[in-house]
Amino acid sequence: MKLIIKPLRLEISASFATAHGQVSHRDAVWVGLEQEGNTGWGEATCVQYYGITPERLFRALERVRTPLLTLEITHPEIVYEQLQPVLADEPFALCALDMAAYDLYGKLHGHPTWKYLDLSVESVPLSSLTIGLIPVDQAVEFLESNPWPVYKIKLGGLQDRQLVEAVRNRTSATIRVDANAGWTPVEAVEMSAFLKAMDVEFIEQPLPATDLAGIRIIQGKMALPIMADESCHLPDDVVKCSPYYDAINIKLMKCGGITPARTMISEARQLGLKIMIGCMTETSVGISAAAQLLPLVDYADIDGPFLLKEDPAEGVRLVHGVVTYPDTPGNGCTPSSHQVI
């Protein structure tokens, strides 16, 4: 297989900010795997708080260029199986390669990835739309311009209550919140009672991932279910989270791709945890890969392209939260031609 690496600069919408901060753009990399005249595509975005930079991704990917030359896609998992020992410390790069492998396999055999996984996409969860950690008036304006059935509000700022109240006063849609590890244990317990009164569905990552003492303090005191995000990266983290969380958010880039995500889903089901497929700020290349797993989970948060000023790819579409799959093989993604020349 031939390895293709395409750097990208993704301009981010002004309406998106989190407790981790606000940035104007994200660097990203598209990874192509070419075999028999077909190219499968995957994606990795550079996230500062995870220490992912373009240079780090390039170095990681170049480490596997030579091994890939003699590797053929006999099954889509083979890339992960062969390269995970080499890239165990680089899940974002591994994810892009794993996504590309599923896309390539589907194109070689003429079927979508979800069909290879023996799934049906007739009924999948609605995706939420993210309202960033922005001033209340901007949030209301964004809400009124984007009527969706499910919203996820980023919290962890000084106007958390005002922001949630403003959104709830203007919509009967399902509301979820994500604190992005921005609260103390006391704040988490107090906010959970307030958010329950606002008819919020659940709280994502209320405390810092490393605050084990804090998560024990709030255990049994939260008025709403809590979901692990920053606390749950890899398959080994699922069982560690199970005593303290009600659900996990699986992001392909954090865990290393579709292959390990499938393992996490299976383990979470055995442990009685609810599951969400989430995303980074990414294009339809990454989102289309993540969407292949939606039939297996309870919640979806795959609005990554809506956080961008422009999506340089086509693929799985979201229309007011409804996920539509294109009638194309692989992951269903098509990078813009000017990006891959």
Angle between helices 284-291 and 91-109 (to 10 degrees): 70
Residue numbers of the domain that contains 254: 129-339
* Cα gap 29→101, rounded to integer Å: 15
pLDDT at 15 over 80: no
Q: What distances in angstroms separate CA 81 from CA 35, 78, 242, 294, one per listed residue?
A: 18, 5, 26, 23
Residue 159 included in any domain = yes
223 in the same domain as 98: no
Residue 119 included in any domain = no
Structure tokens at 101: 């492998």
**Strand, helix or coil at 11?**
strand
**pLDDT at 14 (0 to 100):** 63
User: Of the segments 4-13, 103-112, 126-135, which one has the largest average pLDDT value?
Assistant: 103-112
Structure tokens at 182: 């921005």
171 in the same domain as 40: no
**306-311 CB contacts, 8 Å cutoff, 24+ apart:** 306/13, 306/129, 306/130, 306/146, 307/12, 307/13, 307/15, 307/16, 307/130, 307/132, 307/281, 308/10, 308/11, 308/12, 308/13, 308/281, 308/283, 309/11, 309/12, 309/13, 310/11, 311/283, 311/284
Residue 33 and residue 79 in contact, taking contact as beta carbons nearer than 8 Å: yes
**pLDDT at 49 (0 to 100):** 78
Q: Per-residue pLDDT tens for 165-192? A: 999 999 999 999 999 999 999 999 999 9
**pLDDT at 341 (0 to 100):** 53
Over residues 127-145, the mean pLDDT reads: 93
Q: Per-residue pLDDT tens for 298-318? A: 999 999 998 899 999 999 999
What is the number of domains present in the chain?
Answer: 2
**pLDDT at 337 (0 to 100):** 63
**pLDDT at 117 (0 to 100):** 98
Of 111, 139, 162, the one marking the end of a domain is: 111
141 in the same domain as 59: no
Residue 96 and residue 31 in contact, taking contact as beta carbons nearer than 8 Å: yes
147 in the same domain as 280: yes
Type and span of the H or E element at 274 = strand 274-277
Structure tokens at 318: 């979201």
* Cα gap 224→203, rounded to integer Å: 7
Where does the pLDDT of residue 125 fall: very low under 50, low under 70, confident under 90, or very high at 90 and above? very high
Residue 48 included in any domain = yes
Over residues 27-31, the mean pLDDT reads: 96
Q: Per-residue pLDDT tens for 38-67? A: 999 999 999 887 899 999 999 999 999 999
Question: What percent of the chain stands above pLDDT 90?
Answer: 90
Q: What is the CATH number of the domain that holds 134?
A: 3.20.20.120
* Cα gap 65→63, rounded to integer Å: 6
pLDDT at 91 over 70: yes
**Position of tokens 């865990």?**
255
Q: Residue 2 contacts by C-beta under 8 Å, 6 or more apart in sequence?
A: 32, 33, 34, 35, 68, 69
- In the predicted model, what is the mean pLDDT of the chain? 94
pLDDT at 157 over 70: yes
Where does the pLDDT of residue 134 fall: very low under 50, low under 70, confident under 90, or very high at 90 and above? confident
